[in-house]
Structure 1
Amino acid sequence: MITGTRNPAPDGTQLATAWQTASLLLDYPDDGLLGRRPLLRRAAATLPAELGEPLGRFLDHVDATPLPELAADYVATFDHRKRCCLYLTYYACGDTRKRGVALLRFKHAYHRAGLVLGDDELPDHLAVVLEFAAADPTAGARLLNEHRAGLELLRLALAESRSPWAAVLDAVSATLPRLSGDIQDAVLRLAAEGPPEEEVGLAPYGASSGGPVFLPDPRPSRPPSRPDTQGAHR
C-alpha cells in the first residue's frame, strides 16, 4: 500500500533551494555537474533533513562514480524505462493528442512568468519544471502538484530499481503535500495500466500556436537547455 510521508515545513527560500538543487541533479550529468558539487552540497546543508539528506546521498554517489559511468546510467535509466520518464505529461497523457494540450499549459505558465523556451524544447521535463518552480514557487508548485501521480510513480520506479536518482525524487516528494487518497489511487492505476495510448490521430504539439510540428519522443537521452531563471547555471 502506498503511504504518504510526513514532510517538514520548509520556508520559501528552502523550497526554492531544494527545487533548484534537484533540478541540477536531474539534468544530464556532465562536467558542469562535477564543478557544481561544492555549491550543491552547501545548498543541501541549508535544508531540513528530509530534503537535504537525500540530496546529499545522491551527491555522495556522484563523488564515487566516474562521469562516463554516471552518464551511461542516466541514459539507461531515463531513456530505456518507460516508468522512469522525466517528462511529466507522459504519465497523464501518454502519446495521445491530450499531451499536446498539456504541454501548452506548461509553456503558457512559463510565458506568463516571462520565461521563453526554444521551439525544440519540451517544457514538462522535470528538471525544467523544478527550475521554474525555484523561480516562481506558486506557479511551479501548482504544476508539480497537478502531476503528483506521475511524480510518485517515477519515485517508486526509481526506488524499485535501486536507482541513485531515487534519492533526488525523495527530496522532491518531501517538498510537496502528503499524498491524498485520490492521488494514491491514481498512482496505483498508472502502475497497473500505464499511460494512455492512442495509435492514430495524434494532434501535433504546438500546431495552433506556432510551435513544433511533431510531438517529439518523450524520452530523449539528454534534456534540452533549460529556461534561464535565477542564473543557477552560471
Structure 2
Amino acid sequence: MKTFKILGLLLTYPVPETVGCWPALGDLLVREGLLAKKPLKRIRQWLAENAERDIYDLQEHYVDTFDRGRGHCLHLFEHVHGDSRERGQAMVDLSEMYAAKGLTINQAELPDYLPLFLEYCSLCDYHQAQALLSEISHILVSIGTRLEQRDNHYHIVFDCLQALAKTKVDQKIIDAAISFVQAEDTSLAALDKEWEEAAAFDGDPQQADCAGCRSVAEEMLPTERREQTVKIVGGVQ
C-alpha cells in the first residue's frame, strides 16, 4: 500500500529529489483512496504549499521540528522505553519482524524509526497495517497533538496516520501532550540538558536513507503479502 510509504517519506529529511515529487505523491494518495476526504484534502494542500517553499527553509523547519528535542522524536521506542535495557531487545524483535517480510536495513538505521516502520506497514495487507498503526496510535496522537499545539503543520501527517489507524485514544494522552507543551522550557540551556546523556544507540536514522523510502516516487513496492500482526509497543512513557 503506497499510502503508508508516502506518509513515511514525508517524515524524512526533505531533499530536492523528494520535495519536487510531493504534489505527485498527493495524487497517488487520491488514487489509492485509503484516506478519508478531510485528511486527504489537508495533506494535499500541505504538500502543494510546501513544494513551493525554499528547500533550505524546509530543511531548517524539519530540523527544528524533529531534531531539537525528544517530544517529537521519530523513534518509537524513545516514547516507550527511553534509554532502558528493554529498548535493545525491542529493537531486535522489530528487526526480526522486518526480516521476515524481506525488509532489510543498513547499519545507520534504527528499526524503530517511524518512516521505516511505515515502509514495513506498506508491505502488509491493509488490515495488518491498520492493526500495527493502532498499536502505536498513542504515540502518533501524542506527537501530533504537541505539533498542533505549536502550530506546526507536520501534525497533518500524524493526523493522517491516526485516521488510518482508526483507533480512539484516551483523552488523558491528549491532555498530557497539551500540558507538556504548555510547561516545556524551550531555552537552549534546557535543550542541552535534555540531550546531555549519551544516546543508547549510535547512528542518525533521521538523516539516513530509509531503505526504499528514497525512491518511493519512482517505484512503489508490491503489497499483496501476508504477515501475522505483531504487537510492538506498549504505553507512552
Which of 97, 108, 113 in structure 2 is aligned with 1:109? Answer: 97
How well do the aligned residues superpose, as a CA RMSD in angstroms? 3.1
Which of 1, 4, 7 in structure 2 is aligned with 1:22? Answer: 7
Maintained 8 Å contact 2:145/2:177: no
| TM superposition shift of 1:188 | 5.2
- Percent sequence identity over matched residues? 22
C-alpha separation between the residues in 2 aligned to 1:188 and 1:146? Answer: 19
C-alpha separation between the residues in 2 aligned to 1:223 and 1:89? Answer: 18
| TM superposition shift of 1:147 | 2.1
**Deviation digits for residues 165-220 of structure 1, max 9, x if unmatched?**
11111111100122144xx4456567768xxx9xx9x9x9xxxxxxxxx6237xx4
1:175 and 2:164 matched: yes
Which of 24, 27, 31 in structure 1 is aligned with 2:16? Answer: 31
Please name the residue that 1:147 is paired with: 136
What letter corresponds to residue 72 of structure 2 in structure 1?
Answer: C
What letter corresponds to residue 114 of structure 2 in structure 1?
Answer: L
Moved more, 138-147 or 65-74: 138-147
Question: Number of aligned pairs?
Answer: 201
1:159 and 2:136 matched: no
| TM superposition shift of 1:133 | 0.7
CA gap of 1:119–1:143, structure 2 versus 1, over 3 A, is farther
Please name the residue that 1:60 is paired with: 48
Please name the residue that 2:80 is paired with: 92
Maintained 8 Å contact 1:135/1:229: no
Please name the residue that 1:123 is paired with: 111
What letter corresponds to residue 146 of structure 2 in structure 1?
Answer: A
CA gap of 1:229–1:65, structure 2 versus 1, over 3 A, is closer
Unaligned runs of 5+ in 1: 1-15, 205-213
C-alpha separation between the residues in 2 aligned to 1:191 and 1:164? Answer: 16
Please name the residue that 1:72 is paired with: 60
| TM superposition shift of 1:226 | 1.7
C-alpha separation between the residues in 2 aligned to 1:229 and 1:80? Answer: 23
C-alpha separation between the residues in 1 aligned to 2:137 and 2:113? Answer: 14
Unaligned runs of 5+ in 2: 181-193, 219-237
Maintained 8 Å contact 1:125/1:223: no
C-alpha separation between the residues in 2 aligned to 1:112 and 1:75? Answer: 33
C-alpha separation between the residues in 2 aligned to 1:117 and 1:157? Answer: 29
Please name the residue that 2:202 is paired with: 216
| TM superposition shift of 1:131 | 1.5
What letter corresponds to residue 21 of structure 1 in structure 2?
Answer: I
* Structure 1 runs of 4+ with >3 Å offset: 137-143, 184-193, 220-223, 228-231
| TM superposition shift of 1:27 | 1.0
Maintained 8 Å contact 1:103/1:122: yes
CA gap of 1:19–1:42, structure 2 versus 1, over 3 A, is same
TM-score (norm 2): 0.73
SS in 1 for 2:103: coil
C-alpha separation between the residues in 1 aligned to 2:109 and 2:41? Answer: 31
CA gap of 1:63–1:35, structure 2 versus 1, over 3 A, is closer
SS in 1 for 2:211: coil
Maintained 8 Å contact 2:3/2:29: yes
C-alpha separation between the residues in 1 aligned to 2:133 and 2:177? Answer: 17
